[in-house]
Structure 1
Amino acid sequence: MTSTESTAAGAATTGAAATTGAGTTGAGASRRRLGVPAVTIMIIAASAPLTVLAGGVTTAFAVTGVIGVPLSYLLLGLVLAVFAVGYAAMSRYVVNAGAFYAYIAQGLGRPLGVGSSLVALVSYNAMQIGIYGLFGFTVSSQLAVWFGISVPWWVPVLVGIAVVGVLGVNRVDLSAKVLGILVVLEFVVVIVFDVASFAVAPEGPSVAALDPANLFVPGIGAVLAFGIAAFMGFESAAIYGEESKDPKRTVARATYLAVGIIALFYMVSAWAMTVGIGPSAVIGESATQGPDLIFDFMALHLGQIVADLGHVLFITSLFAALVSFHNAVARYFFSLGREGVLPAALGRVRERSGAPAVGSLTQTVLAVVVVAVFAIAGASWVPPEGLPTELFPVLTLFTWLTNAGALGLVLLMTVVSIAVIGFFRRHRDADAGPWSRVIAPALAAVALATVLVLIIANFTVLLTSDPTAPATATTFILPAIVIVPGLIGIVWGLVLRRRNPRVYEQIGHGAEEHPNELG
């Protein structure tokens, strides 16, 4: 047996034990601190409401030229609500910080579970680290505007990584409280924008954006590809299942509540943008101004102070998403380390807070390394014609990684839908009807597979914001970065089955063997 296999076996057989500087593996009593509101906030924070409105909605208008963008959020919300039926039903029987990984392992087999775990790790890391690109650019730009201070984009990123890292090794309800405050403030400023938009309405209270005829047009594929990113973080409810006060109810309720709030809020806010700017002008203005569109609107109609507050909350919106995705990555590392799929050290928690300390520190180190690579590369970057060099972290780090991460997470949701059917076929005595067992998961699988195909087909558009741009090496490399680890994981799962049956049996079942270890 190799040293790696010995480490894996040790993780599978040790349930309490080993106190180290980082904390303990499996020590401590139950620390279930999160209720439905806290978990819902974690999901919404990951979707970053103000970031979606300022960045995602304006980009969708600009790139696709489709006025029906607002209606797409409702359509995607309905798809995810159908997905949530089977997902929530399965959450009553599978409680694991690995969430999608555990669901797939128990529904479709352990090798596929291991493959999905690596896809999830890469995707969540890509989303989290990618957001640092937009965060660094925005903070650096605002420091220059407000105080005349010029700092490289990577300086505020390193500060952000440090703060997120500190929150990551402390009690999860501390993160929930911080995110709760930030999310509430985001909602307030977006609601103010919405009200002002409907009040200004230069072309009247138009409902053109809500007309299905303006969505179901040739550009719908790109619209849905952009829109699905607004719902990322959807898995968070199940990730926090082990830390929820009542996992069998909390996960389902938080999932439905978050999807409903996100879908309706984004639909109304995107519609408000079309009304406030004018349906005939919103596409052109979005292409010209980008994220500054809503802040310039605020400055013109609500005053510069409100616009400045909006900029501050845009930064905190990004920060909230960073914290949420960081916590998700840390819990994936924890779950895989606990079960022996990855090194056992990743399964250690901090004794005082119960947080997955080693997983959190690992994600922090990864973020520093990737940001350092991009910072070095940016020194010699030549921007596309007409664009300033300051946009480097947005056009590369942010755009590349977040779109790759979104692709991976849609792939996972598609496979999870199929896994739900497989799980309930194996557990026919489970208390779930045909709608939850088969019909809803099958419908969700078809719908999500369609969105996945659309994302892949429009991946060049997502990377370049140019529908006429040719495919490049990046167009193929980035999806491969997400998909190839999944194939490697399947092979690793098969190797574990042959070489280390004890670890293999643990895959996707870690929380059952070592209950209440996290949080």
Structure 2
Amino acid sequence: MSHEQTLPSTGTAAGNGSNNGLSKRTLGVPALVFMIIAASAPLTVVAGGIPSNFAVTGNVGIPLSFIVLGVCLALFAVGYAAMSSHIRNAGAFYAYIAQGLGRAAGVGAAWAALVSYNAMQIGIYGLFGFASASFVNAKLGLNVPWWLAALVGFVIVGWLGINKVDLSAKIIGVLVGLEFLAVIVFDIVSFAVSPEGVSGAGLAPSNLFTAGVGAALAFSMAAFMGFESAAIYSEEAKDPSRSIARATYIAVGIIALFYAFSGWAMTVGTGPSQIVAKSQEFGPDLPFAFLTSHGAVIVSDIAQLLFITSLLAALIAFHNAVARYVFSLGRENVLPHGFARINTRHAPVAGSLTQSVLALAMLAVFAIAGTGSELGEMYPVLTFFTWLTNTAAFGLVLLLVLISVAAIGYFRKHAAGYSLWTRVVAPALAALTLGTVFVLIVVNFNVLIGSDGFSPLSWILPALAVVPGIAGLLWGLRLKTVRPDIYRGIGFGGAPDTSA
């Protein structure tokens, strides 16, 4: 069957009507790019991720790691973007794997994706609560607990989640623009200071490819989390056959180059010989301390405030992603159909509320568990944030590998009009390179969660993503036997695939 014939079956018959589906033709390429970049949280990566990477790995070549991973993800995007021209489903990964590797595998991927995106979204509340409370307490002399600050963000995110998606996109667009401006100011000041001259040490391959390269790549991979999210909005995009691919390529390019340049600027501004030691000393405060000492306190204060809004933008983006996964699974009856409920604003209200309830429960658990913790004020960062976001990164990379293989499977049946490069070579290279990154994450997971030597968390946390995936696979196989009518619609928007 030619790929043109798949269009009716790969759409979203259950959700295409104006009254029973998500908002149609709402998001253009710029909005999609902003949603993607918001999920990767530029200021969060520059202020938190890059200094942490320097501090933990001791690797001076961190800036180059973003270029290396950008190439890997560009290879991934070849097959992924080509599939997006035909598969328009809010479940994204779920639908792609279902149509490339089989419906049962798609269910497994959906469950793993749900855990991964939830872990990322909920984990960010830990850092958001810490950063917000610290800023307010320092400036106003208060003693606001981290969990109360996190609850404020929770209310904002939950309210936006049940509103039309373009409202979130507009707010995110403003926040991301301000983030870029703050980082650009930091970059300019860094090159202006350059205590050891404008050195290329941060971009030298010999500095990246050392004994610590595995942990360095694993850390940097988390910075790209969310780059694939354009496909989640395929049912709400103005021109999904083109805009999803364009937004994905643009976002990967911007993220890789911007983070590489900013990481290099940080190395130059601090000095290659001092960057590791200073990162270990200041951690996420390094850029703000740098701006304070070389600029003005007001500049640092504004940057810290934008750091907080950067985290809020990421929370909104990941909340929307989870809500749409839940909607997609409910629509196809893989989850109870009630999860497909939308409101008058065409927002996936059931999925949004489900994610909010789960986030609130986890907030309560960590808030209670952290009472009197010996970790003090760093508790939400070193546990809540670190544990959950690294679990999410683990699950994401596993899904990327599966998508790469699924692209090969999909284009075996729908090869017409596509070159060998798109159908086989690029996806195979993506599977190989991302598979290598996945192995490095597994091997270095104890480093990523700040554990010395073996820790039960080194296998418990990854299992949180893997076990649901296996359970989903088994559930999909059960549906094949007991509910073949539902099974035929898996990955096809609930409308049975006419080619099955």
State whether residues 23 and 347 of structure 2, in contact with CA within 8 Å, keep that contact through their aligned partners in structure 1. no
- 1:497 aligns with 480
- 1:470 aligns with 453
- Which AA in structure 2 matches 1:510? G
Whether 1:52 aligns to 2:35 is no
Identity of aligned residues (%): 59
- 2:117 aligns with 124
> Aligned pair in 2 of structure 1 residues 262, 29: CA closer, same or farther (>3 Å)?
closer
5 Å-filtered alignment, 1:106-255, equals 106-255=99-248
Residue of structure 2 aligned with 1:486, choices 454, 462, 469:
469
Report the Cα offset of residue 31 of structure 1.
Answer: 2.1
Tell me the SS of whatever aligns to 2:114: helix
Whether 1:454 aligns to 2:437 is no
- 2:395 aligns with 408
- Which AA in structure 2 matches 1:361? L
Whether 1:375 aligns to 2:367 is yes
Q: Give TM-score, length-normalised by structure 2.
A: 0.95
> Aligned pair in 2 of structure 1 residues 16, 405: CA closer, same or farther (>3 Å)?
closer
State whether residues 116 and 486 of structure 1, in contact with CA within 8 Å, keep that contact through their aligned partners in structure 2. yes
5 Å-filtered alignment, 1:65-80, equals 65-80=58-73
- 1:308 aligns with 301
Q: Give TM-score, length-normalised by structure 1.
A: 0.92
Report the Cα offset of residue 381 of structure 1.
Answer: 2.5
Whether 1:391 aligns to 2:387 is no
Deviations 1:281-340 (A, max 9, x none): 010000000011100111111100000001100000000000000000000000000000
Residue of structure 1 aligned with 2:276, choices 283, 303, 323:
283
- 1:361 aligns with 353
Report the Cα offset of residue 216 of structure 1.
Answer: 0.9
> Aligned pair in 2 of structure 1 residues 16, 483: CA closer, same or farther (>3 Å)?
closer
> Aligned pair in 2 of structure 1 residues 29, 216: CA closer, same or farther (>3 Å)?
closer
CA distance in 2, matches of 1:16, 1:423: 23
State whether residues 196 and 271 of structure 2, in contact with CA within 8 Å, keep that contact through their aligned partners in structure 1. yes
Tell me the SS of whatever aligns to 1:74: helix
State whether residues 168 and 327 of structure 1, in contact with CA within 8 Å, keep that contact through their aligned partners in structure 2. yes
Report the Cα offset of residue 103 of structure 1.
Answer: 0.3
CA distance in 1, matches of 2:156, 2:455: 36
State whether residues 137 and 394 of structure 1, in contact with CA within 8 Å, keep that contact through their aligned partners in structure 2. yes
CA distance in 2, matches of 1:28, 1:463: 40
- 1:434 aligns with 420
Tell me the SS of whatever aligns to 2:71: helix
- Which AA in structure 1 matches 2:437? V
CA distance in 1, matches of 2:281, 2:235: 46
Report the Cα offset of residue 472 of structure 1.
Answer: 1.0
CA distance in 1, matches of 2:41, 2:22: 33
> Aligned pair in 2 of structure 1 residues 28, 367: CA closer, same or farther (>3 Å)?
closer
Deviations 1:197-241 (A, max 9, x none): 000000011111111111111110000000000000022110011
Deviations 1:253-295 (A, max 9, x none): 0000000000000000000001001010010000000011100
- Number of residues of Structure 1 aligned to a counterpart in Structure 2: 486
- Which AA in structure 2 matches 1:300? S
State whether residues 489 and 495 of structure 2, in contact with CA within 8 Å, keep that contact through their aligned partners in structure 1. no
Q: Supply the RMSD in Å over aligned alpha carbons.
A: 1.7
5 Å-filtered alignment, 1:256-295, equals 256-295=249-288
CA distance in 2, matches of 1:76, 1:101: 23
- Which AA in structure 1 matches 2:250? L
Deviations 1:382-421 (A, max 9, x none): 33xxxxx111111110000000000000000000000000
CA distance in 1, matches of 2:63, 2:326: 36
CA distance in 2, matches of 1:307, 1:116: 42
Report the Cα offset of residue 350 of structure 1.
Answer: 1.0
State whether residues 497 and 504 of structure 1, in contact with CA within 8 Å, keep that contact through their aligned partners in structure 2. yes
Tell me the SS of whatever aligns to 1:291: helix
Whether 1:423 aligns to 2:410 is yes
5 Å-filtered alignment, 1:79-94, equals 79-94=72-87
State whether residues 224 and 451 of structure 1, in contact with CA within 8 Å, keep that contact through their aligned partners in structure 2. yes
